[in-house]
Amino acid sequence: MRVTITAFVTLDGVSQGPGSSTEDTSDGFGRGGWFVPHLDQRFVQLASEWLDRADGLLFGRRTYTSFARDWPAVDDPGDPFAERMNSLPKYVVSNTIETGDWAPTTVLRGDPVAAVEKLKAQPGRELQIHGSARLGNTLLSEGVVDKVRLVVTPTVLGAGRLQFPHPGSATGLRLTHHEATPSGLVLLEYDVTGEAAVGDYEGVTNLAS
């Protein structure tokens, strides 16, 4: 399987509490709910297409706990995500919980990188990380992630937990898709290419076209 990060971020890189003011108030964060005003049908369509590619969902403990609380309660037959979110295999990386109540769930114990690499070696399409910024950043730094999908809101919060905090390895990405939705969301898809390229500026005459 390919490991994929899907993340909602502000223009200044914050990923904390996109869905409501009370979703994640840890560390005194009080600016949640920044994603909701920009939801539109084009985003929903593309996000549904992304979820179609999943053969499993991968979480850190904190995101798993909140998702396991909220998603089973979504019983709207018109919701385009609930049935798949609730039925797909879930994997939670944690050494503090023994089992998961959001069936079907498998708890991955021990070293998170080794556990995910073992899971990644199994046949399948995408193993998708939703939320779980700390886990995603760790796996990206260790070269385990294959693709990054970002949904960027036209918002600068100036506070909150970042999706890609330092420290971490310098990782290179290649843009494979981009578009803006009517509400102003910018959707970006990247393949991970390995170590980030660097160079010294020597003028513009020999730049690639």
For residue 69, the model assigns a pLDDT of: 92
Mean pLDDT of 47-63: 95
Task: Report the chain's mean pLDDT, rounded to a whole number.
Answer: 93
Q: Cis bond leading into 72, ω under 30°? A: no
Mean pLDDT of 141-159: 96
* Cα–Cα distance list, 90 to 3, 72, 131 (Å): 13, 13, 13
**137 in Cβ contact with 14 (< 8 Å):** no
For residue 75, the model assigns a pLDDT of: 85
The pLDDT tens digits of the residues spanning 133-148 come to 999 999 999 999 999 9
For residue 205, the model assigns a pLDDT of: 82
192, two tokens: 């991970």
Beta-bridge mates of residue 147: 4, 191
Question: Please, what is the Cα angle at 45 between 20 and 80, to 5 degrees?
Answer: 65
For residue 139, the model assigns a pLDDT of: 95
For residue 122, the model assigns a pLDDT of: 94
For residue 99, the model assigns a pLDDT of: 87
The pLDDT tens digits of the residues spanning 74-124 come to 988 889 999 999 999 999 999 998 888 999 999 999 999 999 999 999 999
